[in-house]
Amino acid sequence: MTIRWSTFSAPSRFVWLAAKVNPWLWAVTIALSLAALYVGFFVAPTDATQGEAYRIIFIHVPAAWMSMVIYLAMAFWAAVGWMLNARMAAMLAHSLAPTGALMTFIALWTGSFWGRPAWGTWWVWDARLTSELILLFLYLGYMALKSSIDDTVRGDKASALLAIVGAVNVPIIYFSVRWWNTLHQGATISMTAAPKMAHTMLLAMLLMTFAFWAYAFAMSFTRASAIALEREQHTDWARQWALDGSSIRASKP
């Protein structure tokens, strides 16, 4: 049986799909994070130079990776929404932004808490943390622009353009920040000089990354469903979904 995936570009069917899939996504999130925590704390050995403090890496790196992946996904769906005039794609992009911003914040917070024992200061202007900070600004800018525009159509398109411009600029910004970091010899302490990774450390990090990924999916599905219902308050499908949880066309995907 092949699924015509484009069918889920209709808000009614998307909300149905999200409700169906989310319990599984949450189950995966919990299972993978428990596995990651187990491996990270009970299997992975102590680091020779940084002691137990290095264990923060098991959330810092996944959060940093996800912050970048989510931004790209957000820009992608925003672009799809703009090019194809697909409302649900735009809503999906909007739903990804807060989670992406949260991932960025977590990367910064955990990075700071890792930096204090490892390098002595609560903040280090190294390439990765500085880039994460700028990425946070990009997320906040996207959300600020969207919320400043009352007209939904203009809001969707303007934020899509901004997301695309941002996505194109991210490599440039990252490169320039790395360049800047290598020049100023004072702050050469680098977070990227992570401990040499034992296999178990890598495993814990990867497990947690996939856990965060499932989390991001579940979060954006929930939020996108809320946005769809908010925007389509007056439609029949929304009414039917809200009143008895059934979808008009759920039986024919």
Partner 1 sequence: MNWSSASAFFDMGGYGLYVWGAYAVTGVAMLVEPWLARRRLRQALRDVATQPIQD
Partner 2 sequence: MRTAFIAVFVRDLRLALRRRVEALLPIVFFVVAVSLFPLGVGPEAQTLRQIAAGVVWVCALLATMLSVASMYTSDHADGSLEQMMLSGRPGTVIAAAKAAAHWTVTGAPLVVTAPLIGLLLDMSRPALVTLVLSLLLGTPILSLLGGVGAALTLGLRSAGVLLILLIVPLTIPALIFGAGAVSATESGIAVGGYFSLLGALLILTALTAPLATAFALHIALE
Asked if residue 140 binds partner 2 (CB under 8 A), the reply is yes
Q: d(Cα 66, Cα 54) in Å, to the nearest integer?
A: 19
Q: Which two tokens stand for residue 26?
A: 């949450």
| Selection from 29, 131, 153 nearest residue 71 by Cα | 131
Q: How far is the CB of 80 from partner 1 (least distance, A)?
A: 22
AA identity, residue 114: W
The footprint of partner 2 on residues 100-139 (CB under 8 A) is: 134, 137-138
Asked if residue 152 binds partner 2 (CB under 8 A), the reply is no
User: Which of 7, 9, 22, 176 contacts partner 2 by CB under 8 A?
Assistant: 176
Q: d(Cα 136, Cα 108) in Å, to the nearest integer?
A: 9
Binding partner of residue 34 among partner 1, partner 2, none, CB under 5 to 8 Å per kind? none
* Residue 97: Cβ within 10 Å count: 23
The torsion region of residue 195 among left (phi > 0), alpha (psi -120 to 50) and beta comes to beta
Q: How far is the CB of 142 from partner 2 (least distance, A)?
A: 8
Interface region with partner 2, contact rule CB under 8 A, candidates 48-56, 154-162, 194-202, 223-231: 154-162
| Selection from 14, 118, 138 nearest residue 74 by Cα | 138
Interface region with partner 2, contact rule CB under 8 A, candidates 2-10, 17-25, 173-181, 201-209: 173-181
Asked if residue 177 binds partner 2 (CB under 8 A), the reply is yes
Q: How far is the CB of 122 from partner 1 (least distance, A)?
A: 10
Binding partner of residue 168 among partner 2, partner 1, none, CB under 5 to 8 Å per kind? partner 2
**Interface residues with partner 2 (CB under 8 A)?**
134, 137-138, 140-141, 144-145, 148-149, 153-154, 157-158, 161-162, 165-166, 168-169, 172-173, 175-177, 179-180, 183
Residues that bind partner 1 (CB under 8 A): 41-46, 51-53, 55-56, 59-60, 63, 98-99, 102, 105-106, 109-110, 113-114, 116-117, 215, 218-219, 222-223, 225-226, 229-230, 233-234, 238-239, 241-243
